[in-house]
Amino acid sequence: MTLFKEVHEPAAAEVPTNRVSITVNGVRRAADIEPRLLLAHLLRQGLGLTGTHTGCDTTNCGACTVLFDGRPVKSCTMLAVQADGHEVTTVEGLAGPSELHPIQEGFKDEHGLQCGFCTPGMMLTAKALLEENPDPTEDEVRWALSGNLCRCTGYQNIVKSVLWAAKKMRGES
Amino acid sequence: MTQAKDEIKIGGLGASRKRVEDNRFVRGKGRYVDDIVLPGMLHMEILRSPVAHARIVSIDVSKAWDIPGVRLVLTGEMMAARNLAWMPTLSYDTQAVLATDKVRFQGQEVACVVADDPYIAKDACEAIVVEYEQLPVIVNPTQALAEGAPVIRDDKENQPDNVVFTWEVGDRQGTDDAFAKADVVSKLDLHYPRSHPSPLECCGSIADFDRATSKLTVYMTTQAPHIIRAAVALVAELPEHLIRIVSPDIGGGFGNKVPVYPGYVMSILASILLERPVKWIEDKTGNLISTGFGRDIYLRGEMALRSDGKILGVRMFTESDHGAFFSDAQPSKFKIGLMHSAFACYDIPAAHLTARGVYTNKAPGGVAYRCSFRVTEAMYFQERMVQAAADDLGMDQAEFRRRNFVRDDDFPHRTPFGFLTDSGQYGKCLDVGLSAIGYEDFLKEKEEARKRGRLLGIGISVMTEPLGAGNSREYDILGIKMFDSAELRVHMTGKAILRTGAKTQGQGHETTWAQIVAHELGLPAEDVTVEEGDTDTAPFGMGTYASRSTPVAGAAVAMVARKVRAKARKLAAHLLEVSEEDIEWELGRFYVRSAPDHGVTIQECAAAAYSNMPDGMEPGLENVAYYDPPNLTWPFGCYIATVEVDPQTGVWDVLRMVAVDDCGVRINPMIVEGQIMGGLTEAYAMASNQFITFDAQGNCIGSNYMDYMLPTAWETPGYELHEVVTPSPHHPIGAKGVGECATVGGPAAFVNAVLDAIKDTGVRNIDMPLLPDRVFEALTLRHDVSGAPPVRTDDDD
């Protein structure tokens, strides 16, 4: 319910829409959307979750990576309608109410970011890795992150950040 | 010593302080231009030319207008009616905003649409029908200079050919004499390929013109907001005080976000016409095929040598490909940037450089891609030439360099092309690198491996480079002198806000500038807010590129803090009831010389500035400093790579990469190391697989991330970092630029290493990137491999 919702007359051209219901960061969100709307744009423009960045439009850079039912996907080349009935986690869903996720702490502590544009996607990819493999080697981290590009850091500190987080999540620090 | 320890505690000079900007970035709460939403905002898309050179026969936009939600369609003709079809570039040329007569490169802006959402705008662009009559295409200098070549810039008067400029520097006669005396002349001929800085975030802007106040606010991806304000004032003829440029968080720049792009101009015009905010966010292909690229230069040269290994002279000839419009972002006086900084770390009696720039049917630019204006190209040629010369003389490559270095006690030193360097310890830097890599042991290992058919190689690159333009005597952009600025306000509780004319894009200014204030004033760094990028609040500055922030803006930060401290001293004298001359300073505190326990903190002085100033003193504790550096800073470095080449495939792997950097005093070692590792990765990228080329039709090969290969975490090697510290003699805190050193010095180390591994083939050069097929060709056919465009594509068959 809103106090006021403007109605356009005459109505704009009829655009077919679909109703989707997606659990985003633990909260169920429903929207009527054009079938061609990309998931990244639903998150950014529709839900105002601008931590999901769009870098390349071709599934290469990974800045738009979100977790889709726990698996990392690139939301710039996924239709929002495909997410209907599924769970999506964005960077905004990483931190708890009062404290950062260990991966976020790790990126801060090990200087794993510079401009910050790739960081949300990197951290979500790392989260999926560490849930599957809590004690990865450096090579395993590098391989897991190879779908996410960074132009600033040269990756070395990103790898250290993920290993730092892994250690913390295993309760070793 | 106590001062140093205390200083680390408050996050001062030398502290690896964690970055304050990370608090928002790791939460996804950065504010990049595309994250900004203004009420009533519309969206703009650009229609680009699919062909590289053509006359525009007709543009039919009627179908675009028919699409519901379309608010504006702009073509070159409409821009021309407002005298905005062309704009000046940063290099005294002109560039089309929207094409009127011809398109001159693939990806050139032909029309734009403003609509309710970006999807509608894109639909409408596709509904625009453009008829082209194709013209012959030029993709390299040889074609551009050929007899009868079509003149690309027939829009310009007095432009009979495709030559942008010719420029020379050095001592021609002295160089001729040196070659006449030479025992050996060594030659090298190579192409440094076109590359794109390609920050992950593309360019974009939101123009918001408010008719009621006549104020134009533009949020945009710019590394130099004040230059943009000046440019908008001049081009759009708007009063400068009614223009506000805001550069929010930037997702990487690397030089790509220095120039003025047509998209910015169109979004501004659209907002003025529609009186609504208009957002333009470029897509990746648009970014890669139309915005400022780097390099694309042919470097030829020769070196006159005495048989004992002394370099007598150097001759260089460069031909640079500037695309369709000369829009390099670089100091006005130097047509080929600071190319003539080549060989600065070597003691060479005579040198001469001739540079020629040409127009081609390629995207305009020649930006300083993570380097100080063509310095990357200069140092790449230098270290490849030095390597070739050592090989020709049959001398050890390290020894040959050492023999020709400028000696530590030989400063100030006039470089072969006339720069004045002020400090350096090149021999020590090389020795640190050689010892780290285990030079002698590696040479033995390489020899052993060779007997078993394995190809190992080692490549060295040593350089010093000029960072931190200007001084204002020699450095300006469009006549605006290259100084920078800082403004510091200390509040009554001893907290402060600092603003500078620079603009961080990941370099961490919000963290490091506060550390300089902490060093100078003793305020804890966490008590200092740093703000940049808003021309309504920041003092005028030339922005962040060419590693100039620390040398220039960083110096301004130190100077403004000193001005503030000078006033605080007067307040302290008043509080301590002694004369100023009787007061001493230690970090964060003034005290009476004769009674060291009797003192006041800087915070107490700040409070007094607002509550207890002496009679006649102006209240407040703030100041502004404009800093015009006396010289460039001259950081130097040594980069050593070891590689193994697979003789069956031409694939090469980096075994180790050692980097020794001397950037003077390090403000934040953690951030400095981050910058170096980032720079090394760009160096590796260019050496291994990152380039943009063109086919004979002028199609850009490398127009998206599936074709433009950027290294991932998987390919990127690990790095071993070392340091030498030679403080800059003139910088207030002894710091020098660093962000780009590894990008500048790194490529030659990788390439020298691969060529060393295949030395038995007699191959002198493989053009970067050293793709496996190029290395394989060199290995099997034993000839040099050129990478110059055009490349053959399937279409040619």
pLDDT tens digits along A33-44? 999 999 999 999
Residues of chain B with Cβ-Cβ distance to A150 below 8 Å are 200, 713
Structure tokens at B713: 């975490």
How many CB atoms sit inside 10 A of residue B593's CB? Answer: 11
What's the CA gap between B676 and B541, in Å, rounded? Answer: 25
B640: helix, coil or strand? strand
Quickly tell me which residue has 């690139």 as its tokens: A74
Strands, DSSP E only, in B602-751? 622-627, 636-645, 652-662, 693-694, 700-701, 720-723
Secondary structure of B333-363 as H, E, C letters: CCCCCCHHHCCCCECCCEEEEEEEEECCCCC
What's the CA gap between A66 and A123, in Å, rounded? Answer: 9
How many CB atoms sit inside 10 A of residue B614's CB? Answer: 11
How many CB atoms sit inside 10 A of residue B66's CB? Answer: 10
CA angle A143-A148-A150, nearest 5°?
A: 110
Quickly tell me which residue has 């972002």 as its tokens: B329
Q: Closest chain B residue to A122 measured between Cα atoms?
A: B26
- pLDDT above 70 coverage of chain A, percent: 95
User: CA–CA distance from B734 to each of B558, B635, B746 (Å)?
Assistant: 11, 11, 24
DSSP, residue by residue, B109-121: EEEEEEESSHHHH
What's the CA gap between B452 and A170, in Å, rounded? Answer: 45
B532, B740, B764, B774: which is the annotated catalytic residue?
B740
Quickly tell me which residue has 């200069």 as its tokens: B378
* A-proximal residues of B, 395-424, CB under 8 Å: none
Q: What is the mean pLDDT of residues A123-152?
A: 98
Mutate to test the interface with A, among B16, B23, B25 (most CBs of A within 10 A): B25
Please tell me the predicted confidence (pLDDT) of residue B1. 46
Per domain, the residue ranges of chain B are 2-30+484-627, 33-135+202-250+257-290, 370-468+632-796
CA angle B470-B474-B480, nearest 5°?
A: 70
Is B105 part of the contact surface with chain A (CB cutoff 8 Å)?
Answer: no
Quickly tell me which residue has 């001397």 as its tokens: B662
The CATH number given to B370-468+632-796 is 3.30.365.10
Structure tokens at B33: 């231009």
Nearest to A170 by CA among A110, A121, A100, A102: A102
Q: Identify residue A78 by its one-letter amino acid code.
A: M
Q: Identify residue B688 by its one-letter amino acid code.
A: S
Residues of chain B with Cβ-Cβ distance to A148 below 8 Å are 712-713
Judged by CB atoms closer than 8 Å, whether chains meet at B713 and A152 is answered as no
Residue A73, Cβ density class (10 Å: 0-12 exposed, 13-18 middle, ≥19 buried): buried
Please tell me the predicted confidence (pLDDT) of residue B637. 98
Quickly tell me which residue has 């907001």 as its tokens: B225
What's the CA gap between B392 and B202, in Å, rounded? Answer: 45
CA distance A66 to chain B (A): 12
Spatial contact of B422 and B730, defined as CB atoms under 8 Å apart: yes
CATH topology of domain B2-30+484-627: Aldehyde Oxidoreductase; domain 4 (3.30.365)
Is A77 part of the contact surface with chain B (CB cutoff 8 Å)?
Answer: no
Please tell me the predicted confidence (pLDDT) of residue B329. 83
- N-to-C CA span, chain A: 49
* From A113, A117, A150, residue closest to B201, measured CB to CB: A117
Q: Is the dihedral of CA B78, B82, B83, B88 positive or negative?
A: negative
Per the document, the length of chain B is 797
Residues of chain B with Cβ-Cβ distance to A117 below 8 Å are 30, 32, 199-201, 251-252
How many beta-carbon contacts under 8 Å exist across A and B?
175
Main-chain dihedrals φ then ψ at residue A49, nearest 5 degrees:
-90, 80
What's the CA gap between A44 and A55, in Å, rounded? Answer: 13
Nearest to A122 by CA among A149, A96, A84, A98: A149
Is A31 part of the contact surface with chain B (CB cutoff 8 Å)?
Answer: no
Confirm whether pTM is higher than 0.95: yes
Domain range B33-135+202-250+257-290, CATH class? alpha beta
Per domain, the residue ranges of chain A are 18-93, 102-169
Q: Which CATH code of 1.10.3720.10, 3.10.20.30, 3.40.50.1000, 1.20.1260.10 fits the domain covering A18-93? A: 3.10.20.30
What's the CA gap between B368 and B373, in Å, rounded? Answer: 5
The verdict on whether B370 is a catalytic residue reads: yes
- N-to-C CA span, chain B: 72
- Where chain B has pLDDT below 70, the residues are 1-2, 794-797
Q: Is the dihedral of CA B53, B55, B61, B62 positive or negative?
A: negative
Spatial contact of B333 and B231, defined as CB atoms under 8 Å apart: no
What's the CA gap between B354 and B363, in Å, rounded? Answer: 24
Structure tokens at A50: 């601008």
DSSP, residue by residue, A117-148: SSHHHHHHHHHHHHHH-SS--HHHHHHHTTTS
What's the CA gap between B338 and B465, in Å, rounded? Answer: 9
On the CB side of A152, how many CA atoms lie within 13 Å of its CA? 27
CA distance A143 to chain B (A): 6
Structure tokens at B53: 């050179």
Spatial contact of A65 and A148, defined as CB atoms under 8 Å apart: yes
B59: helix, coil or strand? strand
Confidence of residue A96 (pLDDT cuts 50, 70, 90): confident
B2: helix, coil or strand? helix
Q: Are strands B278-281 and B693-694 parallel, antiparallel or unpaired?
A: unpaired
Please tell me the predicted confidence (pLDDT) of residue B704. 97
Nearest to A76 by CA among B705, B111, B27: B705
What's the CA gap between B190 and B17, in Å, rounded? Answer: 43
Per the document, the length of chain A is 173
The verdict on whether B740 is a catalytic residue reads: yes
B488: helix, coil or strand? strand
Q: Closest chain A residue to B719 measured between Cα atoms?
A: A156
Domain A102-169 in CATH 3.40.630.10: no
Judged by CB atoms closer than 8 Å, whether chains meet at B714 and A52 is answered as no
What's the CA gap between B789 and B797, in Å, rounded? Answer: 17
DSSP annotation of B102: E
Nearest to B735 by CA among B500, B555, B469, B488: B555
Structure tokens at A170: 């295993």
